[in-house]
Amino acid sequence: MPHRLLRFALRKEYREPRFFTAHDRLKDSYDVVIIGGGGHGLACAYYLARDHGITDVAVLEQGYIGGGNTGRNTTIVRSNYLTPEGVRFYDESVRLFQDLAADFDLNIFYSERGHFTLAHSDSALRTARWRAEVNKHYGIASELVDRQAIREACPALDLDCGGQHPVLGALYHAPGAVARHDAVAWGYGRGADRRGVEIHQQTRVTGIRLEGGRVAGVETERGFIATRKVVSMVAGSTPRITAMVGLDTPIVIHPLQACVTEPMKPWLDTIIVSGSLHVYVSQSSRGELVMGAALDQAELHSTRSTFDFTEGLADKMLDLFPFVCGIKVVRQWAGMADMTPDFAPIMGTTPIAGFYLDAGWGTWGFKATPVSGKTMAWTVAHDRDHELIEPFNLARFERFRLVGEKGAASVGH
Amino acid sequence: MKLIDCPHIGPRPASEFVYGGPYRRMPDPDAVDDKTWTEYVFNRAGSPGVKLEWWYHTPSGSWFIAERDTLRDLFLRTLTVSEVHHGHG
Amino acid sequence: MNRQSPAHHLLLKQPLPWGTIHGMPLPLSAPALPATFIVDLSALPRRLVRGARAAAWLAAHGIAVPERYFGCRELDGGAFIARTGAREFLLVDGPEGRTTAALPEEADGVLALPRDDQELALGGAALRDVLLQTCSFDFTKAGPDDIVYANMIGVGCWLRPGGGRIPYLRIGCDPSYGEYLFETLLGIVAEAGGGVIGFKDFWALRQSA
Amino acid sequence: MATDKRLPPQPREWIDRNRPLRFSFEGREYTGFAGDTVTSALLANGQMLLGRSFKYHRPRGVLSAANHDVNAMLQTADATNIRGDVTRIADGQAYSATNTRGGLARDRWRFLQHLAPLLPVGFYYKAFHTPKRLFPFWEKQIRALAGLGTLDTRWPREIAPKRYGFCDVLVIGAGPSGLAAAIAAAEAGAQVVLVDENPRAGGSLDYQFARDTAADAFRREALAKLERLENLEWWPETVAIGYYADHWVPLLRPAGIVKMRARAVIVAGGVFEQPAVFRNNDLPGVMLATAAQRLLHRYAVKPCERAVLLAGNEDGYRAALDLHSAGIAIAALVDLESAEPRGALAARVKAAGITLHGRHTVYEALAKDQRLAGVRICALDAEGRPRPDSAQTIACDGLLMSVGWAPAAALLYQAGARFGYAAPPGQFVPLELPAGVYAAGRVNGVFALAERILDGRAAGLEAAAFLGLAAPPAARPARAAQAHSHPYPIFSHPKGKNFVDFDEDLQLADLENAAREGFDNIELLKRYSTVGMGPSQGKHSNMNAIRILARATGRSIDATGTTTARPFFHPVPLKHLAGRRFRPERRSPLHAWHQEYGVHFMEAGDWLRPQYYGWDGLSAALRREVEAVRQRVGLIDVSTLGKIEVFGRDAAEFLDRLYTLRIGNLKEGMTRYTLMVDESGVVIDDGIAARLGPQRFYVTTTSGNAGAMLREMQRHLAEWGLEVDLIDRTGRLGAMNLAGPRAREVLAALTELDLAPDAFPFLGVRRGHVAGVPALLMRVGFVGELGYEIHVPASQARHVWEQLMKAGSAHGIAPFGVEAQRVLRLEKGHIIVGQDTDGLTTPFEAALDWAVHAKKPFFVGKRSLQILKERTARRLVGFALPAHHVGPLPKECHLVIDGGNIAGRVTSSAFSPTLGCHIGLAMVEQHLAAAGGSFTIRVDGGVLLPVSVVPVPFYDPQNERQQFAASLKEVAA
């Protein structure tokens, strides 16, 4: 048992410091206002303070810290994307994730499990090879593996999937990991807080004031704040914020659902994803199976659950792992995913001076938390897009310069 | 599961329907400049609200238009496409 | 003598006397009627009639069409006609095929194309329970004057309730789903202690009902 | 030690004393009766120790006896995480406790409770991560310690069918208010289904009012009506697992899930009794008063010999009297409030000889042999804090807690109800309910039995009125005017072990410390401390957690709020969610023939398609099949193609708007290649359009897109309001392609049609008969030989196919599969949409410029293509390897590398038996696309392979094989 636990026993009093200072009032102005107290917003605040010395920052959160998609995702971290821009971006994120616990002095349970994207058709196999080739080109551990390799890594998996759509091979990504999602937000929050950033929970933004086409301040339920720089990092609420500054985007909100089982002793070490069956699953350090599936088909700004989601998920899950048929699902939930036409984020500067956008996170926002915080902080500090995110600027659409991540989806059919 | 009241066949569970995206009028392609056109192609009215949408009932193979509150998750009413064309939308 | 039902190879496993209906080999009759049954009716001639003047065209051929959308009307010789839209009708003929025999396939803007369906009927004691396991539609809300388009075990089907003493439901779908639909329903019927009956059995039973 | 705790027959008991059952627990044999749960049977045998706690492995016994906790989590040979409280014993079954090392009694992990001081809330966030390299080791230890049951990966998949259900009114909960509601709604004429998770109706009537004559009168009458009313169905052992939109309520029954679609829903789910929080409140022997009453009345089990009752409400007094009259010695009644206001009840308790301690609490439970041996009680000061100086010890083997309740309101929350805290009764009550949803009884804050019945009846009538079956009822009875839940039955102790969440082993200090560390929002508190996240989902812990946080932050209960109540109400096995394994599969009408001929199928969406034929492997088959088509004649099943009739006044106009090429000027009897792009100019499909008449066309789509294309056509039709009709014939017609130099001879033998080149030219379409079957024939060929695509009714496809094979045998005909077709079309340079294109490919990039007819006034995507034409950055080109090439070959999706950078990818690649070399298509950057140029492909092993750009088609560039015909390009122009 590590010595660090001894302090709890030796001390009479419980003297753990607060993670987050409670601020009873908002100041009249801040250098930077970040809308959204999720992983991205807190990470941006953290890097603004740590790397750029910008500490006069307010993070405004309508609910509670990490209460949005940060606390609703299935915590998978990987960098085996299809496009060069995607791969470079997420590779940097993985590197940051690997050192986050040390940075924070907080255990985020970053656990490298190995990530299998199962291919059930020859077109899926082609896409897997495509991704593997692009990944390898950028030095990322990613390869196309056969059934035998999958069997060895995950003997419990029924490669024949109950007789239909058998697994033909997989894209294997050794660095694929899971992490304790809440802890990532808390770590960034605590780090930002200790560097002087103010985190205001239960503070809803009601408007953004523009003067002469540039940002002048933010209206909140708790009054007006003057600022020259506003960063929107609100994922599922993005369209509501962009509407405040009259900015049109391609973003459409779709619910993304997930569910979790009762805890059981460890039997699944890897992360298993099946595009064709629309299932992904990993086993948490608590022993629960954390499972997700495809987006709901229609736009919706709600985190309601549907029963047919769990029905479909269970059905496909038992194709892969028939023996869990008696295991019970305890809880289901949903997040609001901000989808873009090309399955890539929208980041960086916008036509409105002082308004920065970090959005379009769809189903891949958690794994980008550190890198988007870091690159957005750089972008806000320099008022210029960080080179890693240039391809993701909103302007790409009117230039018909879409990012090809969707290529994977389309070829993958 | 939600019920969707198809104007052709009446209420059916949502699983029998395919969502067809927002009902939008295309600007005259020959009249608009490139910017306006690309905005039409890519941008969407993403804020929550009451929207007209395309919905398709798969078993009977028919399209119709639904007026839906995307914040409260409510189908307010459904119309045939011609009703919408003729301004009943 | 060259038609084949999508369920042909499943039916071959049934030890029933066979015959040929409209060029399609099918089991004709079962020694005894099971309490719950499934029967292949794919052999029946069918037409999908579509076009701006479809209704008038049918009337001109002496076929009175239902006014109501998804309404259904019984015709002579065991045939029925269902209205599936403003300008579309499904005509399913009876065992003798009298109604479709004379109909042209194309005339003044109307197409009346022959249509192969996997058609079957489910009926008997466990009908309701089998339906509750396979279709989300509440069949207490429909009768012989209705044609219901709904998903059944994931396949888009037309469904028409019928029967008197012995209730049954006629079901049709795209033949490419036919083997799956028939095999799956047969499995559930068998669990309920039912089985396959012959083409003739069904029409006899229909008379008796 | 198996002392018998079974009492003589009780008036309401659920056990069948004529059916004794044998079972074992932790290796020891026991007997119980049919109807016993594992918990009740073990207690009847004097076995108090039922499990070990999740974190500290502390001994645990009964808490709720109602599945509101998981102290009794069991394992058998073929199942795990079985809940002893609600699982009926099965004869001969062997049970053991989950999550122990070396058995329940002397679990080797029990030392962990002595490390508790080292393991405060969130400790795992604060340790194990340094040094980084050691975390994997610690994680392994932590994962092994966490988790409950152990599963066996050899367990078979079980199938549990699901059903749909329909009713007017669904009533959830068959206690007094639920019974009254169901009966009232049914008598008003509604079709009612009444469900309860218990095997018998009556709810608390059976354990809190078992000896109450007034209650019994109502119970008898209600149960009689359950029998009598034909429009009232009673479903026992049925759990409503969640509420979903439009009154969609899945019901978990022993036989499987019923997905109930109700027109109105009444929730009468009652309340969960809540534990008091004090030191050692988790010792076996410390239980909820209702747990004792359930054991006593349902199972005739004596919960203990000598009990102390800790009361925070009058329900506790009633429980004391109830147990007393059942012959259980009540050593003392300890009331958190002063006893005087309890009036008559207090008098009756005193009269029963029970010592009353007002304004006292249990300060600590005392253990002996891992179970309760006595309690230390002490007086409370003015602030309600314990005064240890006043402590006294009472010996007892049972401590029964009756300090408050929490509403079983999850389904109401899921339905969108708004709740607020009301004191009295001291719980959250619904303030606003959605249309068609009603609450009745204690979940609604109504407590007196008579009023619960009235409340239920009123709810039933309200539901009936909502459905137009009855007049709305008179007003509901008022909610309880006195507190039934103590505002703070929670007591700190310097030594802790005062548990709030039994699933997660969370103590009072854990929650207070979490709040102090800044997790002072109820949702943050839950996530940091994990309170309420265990298998019982907070049923016994959420309310106390809210009270603790409210006090810690000085906020009101309302301001503190609750966590979101997500499905499921009780956890649901995956097999029940999955149901039967329905997997729609599509079959070509030729499927059986392929099987008989020894085909290898490949999956294509819902279809199975012939990949190749024969037993000698793919490459041999490929050579054979390609050679047959090139040299003689081959036959392939293309029934999966989308097939759509397009007819009506504006048919030509419609297709001109739909496709990039011009279709309107197509001559009757001719066909043309079609290409479809979306609004952003991306290639989405291609196929053939045939003109059958002035206003009649027949079009095909790719197999994979058939459904989507039909929908798009129907949508555009509705949008454009053109006078056109569509008929989808995809599955209704079988299709086959007869291709090869001998195709004409083979076909001639079977058709009356004149096949002479001038009578039936390349790209012509004809209607006639093949083998006596009405057929549509198109002289097109994806594979680049003289070919006929023959479309016939599905029911006759096999006959036609067999006749063609027969007629072809003299010409050496061979059936060929998708793999051969891919090679053949590649030799011919035809693209496959979705393989040679991706989600962003334009026609210009796909080298289909010729297929874009910019002069047309309009077609879908035209405007975008006008913009994109200038921005074509990449191009699909052909490449070939020298015939003598040895070494690794390019595979599909290998990358094109230029100056160390990615400059494209291989989209198609195969050995061409016809050309005797390896050929392929690649999407490359413009500057690499120049004819005669070359580029480099990185193949397996990182080898850089130079290849030369070759014009396509690779094979028969002049298209002489298909005869007298211009290539597709020129025809399109």
What is the pLDDT, as a whole number, of residue D20?
A: 97
Q: How many CB pairs under 8 A join B and C?
A: 29
**Is-contact D272 D295, C-beta < 8 A?**
no
What length does chain C have? 209
Instruction: Return d(Cα D441, Cα D204) in angstroms, integer.
Output: 11
B80: closest chain D residue by CA: D718
Amino acid at D340: E
Q: Which of B18, B81, B82 sits opposite D711 (nearest CB)?
A: B18
CA D705 to each of CA A106, A195, A383, D780, D862: distance values in angstroms, whole numbers, following the listed order? 50, 55, 45, 20, 21
* Helix-helix angle D213-228:D449-466, to 10 degrees: 30
Q: Which chain B residues contact residue D248 at CB under 8 A?
A: 1-2
Percentage of chain D exceeding pLDDT 70: 99
Asked if C148 reaches chain D (Cβ–Cβ under 8 Å), the answer is no
Strand partners, D234: D194
CA distances from D88 to A147, D71, D236 (A): 43, 16, 14
| Cβ-contact D694, D895 below 8 angstroms | no
The strand pairing partners of D654, in sequence order, are: none
Mean pLDDT value of segment D290-313: 97
Query: Would you say residue D965 has pLDDT above 70?
Result: no
Three-state SS annotation for D313-349: CHHHHHHHHHHHHCCCEEEEEEECCCCHHHCHHHHHH
pLDDT above 60 for C205: yes
Of B18, B29, B63, the CB nearest to D863: B29
> In the predicted model, is pLDDT for residue D286 greater than 60?
yes
Q: Work out the percent of chain D whose per-residue pLDDT is above 90.
A: 92
- Predicted local confidence at residue D1, as pLDDT: 41
DSSP element (H, E) containing D743: helix D743-748
Q: Does A332 touch chain B (CB under 8 A)?
A: no
pLDDT digits (tens, 9 = 90+) for A244-285: 999 999 999 999 999 999 999 999 999 999 988 889 999 999
**What's the mean pLDDT in D539-553?**
98
- Judged by CB atoms closer than 8 Å, whether chains meet at A311 and D577 is answered as yes
DSSP secondary structure letter of residue D760: S
Contact of D724 with D713, CB cutoff 8 Å: no
CA dihedral A16, A20, A23, A24 (to 10 degrees): -70
Q: How far is B12 from chain A (nearest CA, A)?
A: 14
C154 at B interface, C-beta within 8 A: no
- Least confident piece of the model among A10-14, B50-54, D73-77, D539-543: A10-14
pLDDT, tens digit (0-9, with 9 covering 90-100), for C13-49: 999 999 999 999 999 999 999 999 999 999 999 999 9
CA–CA separation, D43 and D61 (whole Å): 9
pLDDT tens, position by position, for chain A (413 residues)? Answer: 567 777 777 777 778 899 999 998 999 999 999 999 999 999 999 999 999 999 999 999 999 999 999 999 999 999 999 999 999 999 999 999 999 999 999 999 999 999 999 999 999 999 999 999 999 999 999 999 999 999 999 999 999 998 888 999 999 999 999 999 999 999 999 999 999 999 999 999 999 999 999 999 999 999 999 999 999 999 999 999 999 999 999 999 999 999 999 999 999 999 999 988 889 999 999 999 999 998 999 999 999 999 999 999 999 999 999 999 999 999 999 999 999 999 999 999 999 999 999 999 999 999 999 999 999 999 999 999 999 999 999 999 999 999 888 755 543 32
| Averaged pLDDT, D505-531 | 96
In this prediction, residue D973 carries a pLDDT of 37
Other CB atoms within a 10 A radius of the CB of residue C138 amount to 14
Confidence of residue D972 (pLDDT cuts 50, 70, 90): very low
Q: Is D9's pLDDT higher than 70?
A: yes
Which among C69, C137, C157 is the nearest to B8, CB-wise?
A: C69
- Looking at every residue in chain D, the average pLDDT score rounds to 95
Is residue C58 over pLDDT 60? yes
Dist. CA A272–CA A244, nearest whole Å = 40
- D248-307 residues touching B, CB cutoff 8 A: 248, 259
Average pLDDT over residues D530-557: 97
Q: Do B16 and C157 touch (CB under 8 A)?
A: no
Give me the mean pLDDT over the D355-381 stretch. Answer: 97
Pick among C83, C149, C151 to test the B interface (most B CBs inside 10 A)? C149
Containing D628, the helix (H) or strand (E) segment is helix D618-631
Whether C150 sits inside 8 A of B58 (CB atoms) is: no
Q: What are C109-155's pLDDT values in tens digits?
A: 999 999 999 999 999 999 999 999 999 999 999 999 999 999 999 99
Distance between B9 CA and the closest CA of chain D, angstroms: 17
Query: What's the pLDDT score for residue D828?
Result: 95
Distance CA D241, CA D795 (A): 46
pLDDT of res. A383: 98
Tell me whether B4 touches chain C (CB under 8 Å).
no
Question: Is B9 an 8 Å CB contact of chain C?
Answer: yes
In sequence order, the β-bridge partners of residue A291 are: A259, A281
Q: Which ranges constitute the DSSP H helices of D114-175? A: 135-145
Looking at the complex, report in whole angstroms how far the Cα of residue C204 sits from the nearest Cα belonging to chain D. 25
Residue D572 pLDDT:
98
Cα dihedral angle (B62, B66, B71, B72), rounded to 10 degrees?
Answer: -100
Contacts of B61 in chain C (CB under 8 A): 156
Query: Pick from D164, D580, D584: which is nearest to C177 by CB?
Result: D584
Q: State residue D250 phi and psi, 5-degree precision.
A: -70, 135
* Cα–Cα distance for residue pair C83/C66, rounded to 1 Å: 6
Residue D698 pLDDT exceeds 70: yes
Distance CA D196, CA D184 (A): 17
* CA D686 from centroid of its chain's CA atoms: 36
Contact B8 C151 (CB under 8 A): no
- Judged by CB atoms closer than 8 Å, whether chains meet at C109 and D695 is answered as yes
* Each residue's pLDDT tens digit, D590-637: 999 999 999 999 988 889 999 999 989 999 999 999 999 999 999 999
Torsion, Cα of D307, D310, D313, D317 (10° steps): 20
Q: With an 8 Å Cβ cutoff, are C151 and B57 in contact?
A: no
pLDDT at D365: 98
CA–CA separation, D694 vs D668, rounded Å? 7
Predicted confidence band at C209 (pLDDT cuts at 50, 70, 90)?
low
Answer whether residue D968 shows pLDDT above 80.
Answer: no
H or E element: which one contains D31? strand D28-34
CB-CB contact of C199 with C36 (8 Å): no
Check if B16 contacts C (Cβ < 8 Å). Answer: yes
**Which of A95-119 are b and which e, b meaning 16 or more Cβ less than 10 Å from the residue's Cβ?**
ebbbebbeebebbbbbbbbbbbbbb
User: Any idea how long chain A is?
Assistant: 413
Is there a contact between D543 and D427 (Cβ–Cβ < 8 Å)? Answer: yes
Q: Is the pLDDT of residue D115 over 90?
A: no
**Per-residue pLDDT tens over the stretch D770-807:** 999 999 999 998 899 999 999 999 999 999 999 999 99
Put simply, whether D643 touches C (Cβ < 8 Å) is no
Nearest alpha carbon to residue A341 among A273, A401, A275: A401
Confidence of residue D964 (pLDDT cuts 50, 70, 90): very low
Nearest to D125 among A112, A183, A318 (CB): A183
CA angle A291, A292, A297 (to 5 degrees): 160
Write down which chains contact chain D via at least 3 CB pairs under 8 A. A, B, C
**The token pair that represents D150 in the structure block:** 């152990």
Coil, strand, or helix at residue D239? strand
User: Residue D867 and residue B1: Cβ atoms within 8 Å?
Assistant: no
A44 and A359 Cβ atoms separated by less than 8 Å: no
- The answer to whether D128 and D111 have CB atoms below 8 angstroms apart is no
D260-269: average pLDDT: 98
The HSE-up count of residue D57 (CA atoms within 13 Å, CB side) is: 22
Residue A332, both tokens: 């289901």
For chain B, give the number of residues: 89
- Quick check: B73 and A306 CB within 8 A? no
pLDDT at A163: 85
The CA distance from D955 to D891, in Å, is 20
With both helix axes pointing from N to C terminus, report the angle between D314-325 and D289-299 in degrees, rounded to the nearest 10: 30
pLDDT at res. A13: 76
Tokens 């409770």 correspond to what residue? D113
SS3 D186: helix
| pTM of the full structure | 0.96
Contacts of B among chains (3+ CB pairs under 8 A): A, C, D
Pair D202, D174: CB distance under 8 Å: yes
Give dist(CA D902, CA D925) in Å, integer. 9
pLDDT in tens, D856-891: 999 999 999 999 998 899 999 999 999 999 999 999
- Spatial CA neighbour of D506 closest among D143, D119, D148: D119
Task: From residue D882, give the alpha-carbon distance in Å to each of A103, D620, D887.
Answer: 56, 22, 12
Q: Looking at chain C, which residue has its C-alpha nearest residue D793?
A: C116
Q: Across residues D55-77, what is the average pLDDT?
A: 97
Distance in Å, alpha carbon of C176 to nearest chain D alpha carbon: 5
**Is residue C149 within 8 Å of C171, Cβ to Cβ?**
no
Q: What are the b/e assignments for D534-545, b being 16+ CB within 10 Å?
A: bbbbbbbbbbbb
The residues that bridge with D635 in the sheet, in sequence order, are: D738, D815
**Looking at residue C165, what is its pLDDT?**
86
Mean per-residue pLDDT, D117-145: 89
| Closest CB to C154 among D582, D607, D796 | D582
**Nearest chain B residue to D263, by CA:** B3
CB < 8 Å from C in window 60-79 of B = 60-62
- Check CB contact of B83 with chain C, cutoff 8 Å: no
Strand D506-507 versus strand D499-501 pairing type: antiparallel
DSSP state of D85: T
Asked if A164 reaches chain B (Cβ–Cβ under 8 Å), the answer is no
Class of residue D401 by CB neighbours under 10 A (exposed 0-12, middle 13-18, buried 19+): buried
pLDDT at D963: 63
Q: Which residue has the tokens 């030509």?
A: D652
The answer to whether the bond into A343 is cis (omega within 30° of 0) is no
pLDDT in tens, D383-426: 999 999 999 999 999 999 999 999 999 999 999 999 999 999 99
- Name the residue in chain C with its Cα closest to that of B59: C156
C-alpha to C-alpha distance for D298 and D16, rounded to whole angstroms: 11
pLDDT digits (tens, 9 = 90+) for D835-849: 999 999 999 999 999
Contact state of D718 with B63 under an 8 Å Cβ cutoff: yes
Amino acid C108: pLDDT: 85
Specify the amino acid at residue D8: P
Q: Residue D971: is its pLDDT beyond 60?
A: no
